[in-house]
Amino acid sequence: MEQMVNAVNDFGVELRGAGTDESPFVYRKLREVLDAHMETIDVLHVLKPIGVCMAGADEFDPYKD
């Protein structure tokens, strides 16, 4: 948990209600994924996410529930 909080702060992200399952350390690096597929795709643009919105643990999420 401490590693995630430190990383989120370093990236300048405001974390509201997310758990450690959304830690940036559980995902592969985008560049590594794109490089692994470079022979099968042409990357035209790479977007930088600016936000993530998730339902809290006590809220109904139609995409999950």
Instruction: Give pLDDT tens digits for 27-62.
Output: 888 899 999 999 999 999 988 877 767 777 787 878
Q: What is the reported pLDDT for 13? A: 75
Place of tokens 């399952």: 21
pLDDT, residue 42, reads 94
Q: What is the sign of the dihedral through the CA atoms of 31, 11, 15 and 23?
A: positive
Name the DSSP class of 64: T
Taking the C-alpha atoms of residue 4 and residue 23, their distance in angstroms, rounded to an integer, is 6
pLDDT of residue 38: 92
Region at 12 (left for phi over 0; alpha for psi -120 to 50; beta for the rest): left
